[in-house]
Structure 1
């Protein structure tokens, strides 16, 4: 069995190639059962959650990602999420490779946001606002710059020093970035808003979104997590990465309970957008919202790209 460490996994997942791989995977489809979720200890006492995410193509490859989420890790100076990915031959069950699941997760999450933005963000979107400063947040500017002419990036984080560090990192990469302390003024100026946090309370207020904004909610992925209030959904054309989001997303569950959303208002999934079965943005002034909880199909596509690239080398 071949092993791809974090550096080797990341090296095979440059965003243009990964976005194309995700687009092909969405069109082709795969067998993707519902994820398994289990609590590890008491969340109130610093416990966490384990997710098991399988996907396979008949006669092709089978992948399984194991993820642990411990939000209290941030107080310890540790990432809140860790993951391992194992790729198998779906015909024989023979293990092919073990890959760095953190890189798979972070890069496919950012690339999924970029793929959705191809359909939902205005073609002239130039100003990006990132909420968060973790693995995914750090990758969002590069991913979105692969599909939209992003010229300026604002960074907000609930701990301002984290936003300042990320802005400085982006500046060192040649990106025009700045940290912002006040969220409302930054929202008013943003063309794309990407929230990549582990928040359990709404950070984005729908009344503060400017016409024409595209909103990515890609950080929260359990019923207990939330990044936007119900008015964000009430004002937006809403899309999801998979229909599983309707049952697993705290954002959608809360918006539904508070009257800001019902399932009949769902405009489509990412697969339907990629297949041309759902219409994307309809005008320059409407607000679009993409809610992602993460897809094992995207994990499989990323892992296959790493494996195929490694074999070619």
Structure 2
């Protein structure tokens, strides 16, 4: 019988204490196969929209596919930007096992992946986190980073100070030391870790504002035309990616400075497989600015979906 897992059940099953180690093991093992995701423009000039299809499989064990829609203008309607479903199948028989809320799955696994990268790339004593963005993903990114570093101050910046204040209040209700920030430049300059979860096409985090020793986590921009950082920041930082194939095909944060001649793709210092398998080193001292650019990998979805099916309590069986 196919089990259905709604957002509440997904978030309860995917604690960062469970998910970060599971992702670390999966990236190190590299047994999950997945093609570069298919992305389609399905929106209009007034309401941009993207449809993503992301299959992945571990032969003989599990396979699944995520169908997700991203509509950035949903914020104006009081809706989240990301909606979709994940379907998990038995890898030996192909029998459907679970239908999982994809927004909750995506938010949780994305935040856990950033947290995993931070364990290699941020300073162990990082205490101030600046969150750029006030959407659903940014809310989870704050929690993920706080789960792996001794964060004592969380600064939340958004284009709307009121929404930044609302998100800070929701984080504070979870026990996180969050407060809104009116000045993005000052908030970035105060940070040990900067995490960005926006759908921006304009640089928000500027190299001139980032102090030495900072770790910058660039998550939101997922097409070649989108960016959250400027050319200066990419040129001055040590860049790591979630996967070479995905990031070098889709990440505007990297492709735009490369096209401008400010940076080259051969300067990527490593990916998560190499970091988790011990093939590449992460941060070696306190001074460098490190950057982690992720566009999402289907491996992360499959690992998270397997955890939900193994640890979660389903909302209901599918009819």
Which bracket does the TM-score occupy, shorter chain normalised?
A: over 0.9
Report the Cα offset of residue 283 of structure 1.
1.4
Q: Within the alignment, does 1:16 sit opposite 2:17 as a pair?
A: yes
Whether the 8 Å CA contact 1:52–1:65 is kept in 2: the answer is: yes
Contact (CA 8 Å) 1:220, 1:227: kept in 2 or not?
yes
Deviation at 1:311, TM superposition (A): 8.0
CA contact (8 A) 1:55 1:296 kept: yes
Q: Which residue of 2 aligns with 1:170?
A: 171
Q: What is the distance in 1 between the residues matched to 2:304 and 2:99?
A: 13
**What is the RMSD computed on CA atoms of the aligned residues?**
1.3
More divergent stretch after superposition (76-85 vs 147-156): 76-85
TM-score (norm 1): 0.97
The answer (yes or no) to whether the contact 1:241–1:290 under 8 Å persists in 2 is yes
Q: Deviations over 1:15-62 (max 9, x none)?
A: 1100011111101221111101111143x2214110000000010100
Q: What residue in structure 2 maps to residue 151 of structure 1?
A: 152
Q: Which residue of 287, 302, 305 maps to 2:304?
A: 302
Q: Tell me if structure 1 keeps the 8 A contact 2:9–2:313.
A: no
Which residue is 1:118 aligned to?
119
SS of residue matched to 1:245? helix
1:16 and 1:174 map into 2 onto residues whose CA distance is: 17
Q: Is the 1:119–1:281 Cα contact (8 Å) retained in structure 2?
A: yes
1:107 matched to 2:112: no
Determine which structure has greater relative contact order: mean sequence separation of CA pairs < 8 Å that are 6+ residues apart, divided by chain length.
Answer: 2
Alignment of 1:223-262 (within 5 A): 223-243=224-244, 244-262=246-264
CA contact (8 A) 1:65 1:84 kept: yes
Question: Does structure 1 conserve the Cα–Cα contact (< 8 Å) formed by 2:254 and 2:265?
Answer: no
Distance 2:212 2:272 in 1: 22
Checking the alignment, whether the CA contact within 8 Å between 2:10 and 2:312 is kept in structure 1 is: no
Task: Find the counterpart in structure 2 of residue 180 from structure 1.
Answer: 181
1:131-150 correspondence runs (5 A): 131-150=132-151
User: 1:298, 1:52 → 2: CA distance?
Assistant: 14
* TM-score after normalising by structure 2: 0.95
Task: State the partner residue of 1:284.
Answer: 286
In the other structure, the counterpart of 2:62 is 61
Structure 2 unaligned regions, length at least 5: 315-319
Q: Is the 8 A contact 2:10 2:308 kept in 1?
A: yes
Q: State the alpha-carbon separation in 2 of the partners of residues 173 and 289 from structure 1.
A: 27
